[in-house]
Amino acid sequence: MASTSSLSSCSTTIVDRKAPRHSSSAPSSPQCVSLPSLPPPSTTSYQNHRPWKATAYCRKVARNVMAMATGEASTDVATTTEPPEFLKTVQETWEKIEDKYAVSTVAVAGVVALWGSVGVVSAIDRLPLIPGVFEVVGIGYSGWFAYKNLLNKPDREALLQKIKDTYNEIIGSSG
Mean local confidence (pLDDT), 148-166 = 94
- The answer to whether 33 touches 17, Cβ cutoff 8 Å, is no
Q: Greater confidence, 167 or 59? A: 167
b or e along 50-85 (b: 16 or more beta carbons within 10 Å of the residue's beta carbon)? eeeeeeeeeeeeeeeeeeeeeeeeeeeeeeeeeeee
Range from 46-50, 98-102, 104-108, 134-138 carrying the lowest mean pLDDT: 46-50
Q: Greater confidence, 124 or 119? A: 119
- The answer to whether 67 touches 77, Cβ cutoff 8 Å, is yes
